[in-house]
Amino acid sequence: MFQPRPQNPALAAAFITVAGAFIALTTLIAKALGSDQFGDTLHPLQISQGRFIFAFMALSLAAAVLRPTFGKIHWGLHLTRTSSGWVGVSLMFAAVAYIPLADATAITFVNPVFAMMLAIPLLGERVGPIRWLAAGIAIIGAMVLLRPTPATFQPAALLAVGAALAFGFEVIFIKKLANRESPFQLLIINNLVGMGISTLAVLPFWQMPSPEQWALLAALGAAMACAQACFVNGMARADASFVAPFSYATLIFAALYDALFYKAFPDLITCIGASIIVGGAVLLAVREARHASSREPR
C-alpha cells in the first residue's frame, strides 16, 4: 500500500526548483533539435516521441530497481490525460523553435488559469471573484508576451498558448487520477501511453536522426523523467500552495539557458509579461491555500 512521504518543506522546495531546471532543459534540447544545428530539423512530433520513449525507458529502469507495487489502472483517464499532455508538449516544442525559451515558458504558465476555467464544466467547481481576478491578470500577462501589434506580433507564440490550454486539460485529468493511483504509477503509465500515441502520430514525419540527435533525444527523455520524479517528490513532501511559487524557477532557468546557449537575453516586454503572469498565478495559489485552510477541521 502506498505510504505518504514525511512532510519536509525545505526538501520539497529544493525538489521543485530542481524540477524547474530539468523542465527548462527539455525546452532547450527541443529548441536544438528543432533547428539544423545537428542535422536536418526534426519535426516537433518526432521530438515529442523521443521525449516519451526515453522517459519511459528511464522510468522502467527505475521500476526494475525500486519494484513498486501497482494498483488498478484507469486506462480511460490515462488516455485522456496523456493525450492532452502530448498535445501540450508537442506544441511547446514547436513554439521554442521560433520564440525565446523565456517567452514560451512564461506563456505556458497560464495553464492554471485554463485549468480553473475548465474545472467549471468538467469538475463542477464554482469560481469566485478572486479567482477570476487572478485569471484576468495572468491573461493580461500572456497578451503582453504575444506582443499584439503588427510590428512585433509573434504568430509562433500562439503555439505556446495552445500548449497552455492543453496542459490545462491535463491538470483536470491529473486531479481525477491523483486519488486513485500512486504517483509512480501515474508517471510510468503516462509515459507508456504517451509513447504509443506519439509513435502513431509521428509516422508520416519520422526521419532517421543523426547520432548527435539520438543523443539529444535520449537526454531529453532522461531530463523529463528526472523533472517528473523531482516534481512528484516535491509535491509529496509539502502542500501544493507552498511549493507552487518555486515552480516559477523554470522561468529563470529558461532565460539563463537561452542567454548561455543562444545569446538571447529577455527584453523589457518579456520581463513585464512574465511578471504579470507570475503575479496572477501567485494570487491564485494564495487564494487556493486560504480556501483549503478554511475547510480544514479546527
Determine what percent of the chain is predicted with pLDDT higher than 70: 90
Residue 165: per-residue pLDDT: 93
CA distances from 84 to 19, 76, 143 (A): 20, 13, 23
| pLDDT over threshold 50, residue 298 | no
pLDDT tens digits, one per residue of 35-91:
888 888 999 999 999 999 999 999 999 899 988 888 899 999 999 999 999 999 999
pLDDT recorded at residue 295: 54
Q: How does pLDDT run across 141-160, given as a tens digit for each residue? A: 888 888 876 666 788 889 99
> CB-hemisphere CA count at 13 Å for 289?
14
Q: Quick one: pLDDT band at residue 289, thresholds 50, 70, 90?
A: low
* Per-residue model confidence as pLDDT tens digits over 197-241: 999 999 999 999 999 999 999 999 999 999 988 887 787 777 665
Q: Using the predicted structure, report yes or no on whether residue 2 has a pLDDT greater than 50.
A: no
> What is the pTM (predicted TM-score) of this model?
0.83
Among residues 10, 28, 22, 16, the alpha carbon closest in space to that of 257 is found at 28
pLDDT at residue 51, as a whole number = 95
